[in-house]
Amino acid sequence: MVRKQFIRQYIYVYAAVCPSTGEVFSLIMPCCNIEAMSEFIVEISDYYKDYKVVMFMDKAGWHTSKELIKKDNIRILHLPPYSPELNPAEHLWDHIRENYFKNEMTVSIEQLETKLEKVLLQVESDNATIKSLTNFKWLFF
């Protein structure tokens, strides 16, 4: 007999990629809601304060809410429904799942978060791979 226990706990990664440079900006958050998305926008706006940032997002409720904090240096463009393949960041998630979390279990949410931190640091330092995954020809006419 094999014993098992299912515990449902969640952590969330918010990330943005720059397809032309391969840069990744990410935050690990305890929830997925308008407040967390607003915090992500504030953090990325501050980090890239000398840049104009265009962010592609789907139309999830926390991406489209009127309560979402707006920043002058960030322009949000919403993708058509049911088109995750058009969002460069979605290819980052595929890469992380396929290369770092394949057939793996963690015993605690803390262990998962620790591994996620290490993975994100590794991914953030591999600009060439991120460019190859996200730099679509149609992005830069």
**pLDDT single digits (tens) 23-63:** 999 999 999 999 999 999 999 999 999 999 999 999 999 99
In a domain, residue 21? The reply is: yes
Q: Burial, 133: exposed, middle or buried (Cβ in 10 Å; 0-12, 13-18, 19+)?
A: buried
**Helices 127-134 and 88-100, interaxial angle, to 10°?**
120
Which CATH number is 31's domain given? 3.30.420.10
Supply the Cα-derived Rg of the chain in whole angstroms: 16
Confidence of residue 95 (pLDDT cuts 50, 70, 90): very high
133 in a structural domain: no
Residue 97 located in a structural domain? yes
In a domain, 81, yes or no: yes
| Residue 24 counted as domain residue | yes
In a domain, 140, yes or no: no
Residue 131, pLDDT score: 93
> Does 2 score more than 70 pLDDT?
no
Q: For the chain, how many structural domains are there in total?
A: 1
26 is a domain residue: yes
Domain that holds residue 90: 12-103+119-127
In a domain, 44, yes or no: yes
Rounded Cα–Cα distance for residues 107 and 17 (Å): 30
Q: Rounded to an integer, what is the distance from CA 118 to the centroid of its chain?
A: 15
